Chains A and B, each alone.
Chain A
Amino acid sequence: MIDLETASDAALVVAIGRFQEPALAEVYRRHGGAVWALTKRVVRSDALADEITQDVFLRLWREPERFDASRAGLRSYLNAIAHNRAVDQIRSESARTAREERSARETASQGYDLERHVWDLAAADQVRTVLETLPDRERSAIELAYFEGFTYREIAELQGEPEGTVKSRIRAGLKRMRSALHHLQGEPIGEVQ
C-alpha cells in the first residue's frame, strides 16, 4: 500500500489502475472540491454538479489509463472532463457529441505537495487580476464561453458582433492572459519545480 498522503497524483492514478480503492478517495480529497466548484459555476445546480463530479471520478476509476501524467496535471485533467460534461449539460444542442478526451492543459506536474497547492492559489489570484485587465469584450467573451457554456456563435449573437470577431477575441484574450501571467510571474506558468 502506498503512502496516500505523500504520494504524487501520478502514483495515485497508477494505484487506481491496480484497483487500490483508497487511492481514489485520496484523489477525491485533493481535487474533488475544485472539480465540483468549477462544475457548479457552469451548471449552477448543486445536484447537477454532484452528478457530474461523481461521473468524473468514476471515469477515473474505470479508465485511469486515459490520464497521461506527462501531458497534464491531474486536476487539470479532471477539470477538463468536468467542464466538457458541464457544458454539454447546458449547451443548447442536446445532441452535441461529447469530446471524449482532452489534451494537456498544463505542463506536467508529477507530484502533489504544498508547493503545488500554494502555486495554485497564487495562480488563481493572478488569473483574476489578469482577467480584469483584458478589454471588456475579450473578458466577457471568455467568461461567457467558459463559465456560461455558450458557443462563440451564441456569444456573437449576444454581443451583436460577427462570429469571426468573437472567435478572434477569445483566442487573443487567452494569448493576452498567458503573456500577462508570464510578465507577472517572470517564469513559465504551469511549471512547478
Chain B
Amino acid sequence: MTHDEIAELLGAYALDAVDADEARSVEAHVAACPRCAAELAEHYEMAGLLSGVGGEAPVGLWESIAASTGVARGDQHLTGSPVADLSHERAERSGRRVGWAMRVALGVAAAAVALALIAGAQINHLQGKVNQLSALSTTTGISRAVQTALLNPDTTRITLTGSSSSGKAAAVLVVQPSGQAFLVNANLASLSDKETYQLWGVIDGRAISLGVLGNDPHTVPFTLDATSSLTAFAITAERSGGVVRPTHTPVAQAAVPPGEIRST
C-alpha cells in the first residue's frame, strides 16, 4: 500500500477497525514513517478519550486476578484495597468464573445437540413467525434501523459461524429486546435462483423457521418472540420459497447461552 492509502487507514486502525492484513501493513509503515506515527498517536489519543473513565472496579474480580498471581497473600499491606475488602467473595466469584467457561462449553455442546434434532424437527411457522418489517422496506431505512439497534446497549449480538473448519463468521444476528432483529453482514456464498437461505431457531429441540433470507442475503430484518427459550440459531440452504422443516445440514450456526437474549 502507498503512503496515502496507509494514511487513510490510520483512523480505522486506531479503533481496531481494520482486518489483520491491513493492520500488519499499517504497523510496518508506521514503524518507518514519523508523519504517520504522529497522526496515529493523535488518533490513539482520541480513542483513549472515547473509552471514558469507567467506574468502580468490579467487586470480586480482583479475587480472580489475585488467585492467578498469588497476590492474595499480600493483602496485609493493603488496608482498604480490593484484596482486603473482597476476600470474602472469593468462593462466589471463583464459581462464577468457572461457570462462564462451563457455559461456553455447554453452550456449544447444546447447540450441537439441538442442531442434530433439526432434521427431525417439526416446523411451526406460527410460533416462530417471521415478519418482514414493512416499515423498514428500503435499504436506507434498514441500514438506519440496524445502526440504531446496534447502538442500543440492550441489543444482543450473536455471531453465526460457518460449518467449515475455518470457523469464520457467516453472519451476525442483532436482536433487540422488543424482538425486532436483523441478520447483518452475511458472508454466505450466493445460491442459484432456485435456492434460498433459511434462518432457523431451536426451541425445546424443535427447529422453528425464522425467515427466508433469499439467495444472496446481506441485511435481512425479522422478528422473533424474544421471550422464547431459544437455544440455537442455524442457517440452511433450501429450495426457493423455503421449506417447512430443514432438509439440509446447517451452513452456519450459533448456540445461544441461557439468558443471552433479553426481552422487554
A residues touching B (Cβ–Cβ < 8 Å)?
1, 4, 21-22, 24-26, 28-29, 31-38, 41, 44, 47-51, 53-54, 57-58, 61, 72-73, 75-76, 79-80, 83-84, 87, 90, 92-97, 99, 102-107, 117, 120-121, 123-124, 127, 131, 140, 142-155, 157-160, 164, 166-168, 170-175, 177-178, 181, 189-190
Contacts and interface: CB of A to CB of B under 8 A. Distances in A.
Interface stretch (B109-117, B123-131, B139-147, B238-246): B139-147
A171 B12 contact: yes
Range class of the B interface residue count: 35 or more
A150 B17 contact: yes
B8 A167 contact: yes
A38 B126 CA distance: 40
A29 B159 contact: no
Contact of A32 (B41, B61, B155): B61
Interface stretch (B160-168, B188-196, B208-216, B223-231): B160-168
Given A50-B64, A95-B167, A171-B12, A32 B58 contact: yes
B interface majority secondary structure: helix
Between B11, B71, B82, B172, the greatest number of chain A beta carbons within 10 A of the residue's beta carbon is seen for B11
Which of B9, B71, B161, B166 has the most A CB atoms < 10 Å from its CB? B71
Interface in B54-103: 54-58, 61-62, 64-66, 68-71, 73-75, 77-78, 81-83, 96-97, 99-100, 103
B81 A93 contact: no
A22 B169 contact: no
5 A-B pairs with least C-beta separation: A34-B54, A32-B57, A171-B11, A92-B169, A105-B44
A117 B113 CA distance: 51
Given A92-B159, A168-B8, A177 B96 contact: no
B46 interface: yes
11 contacts: A38-B51, A38-B52, A47-B100, A47-B103, A95-B168, A103-B41, A123-B49, A152-B18, A157-B185, A171-B10, A171-B11
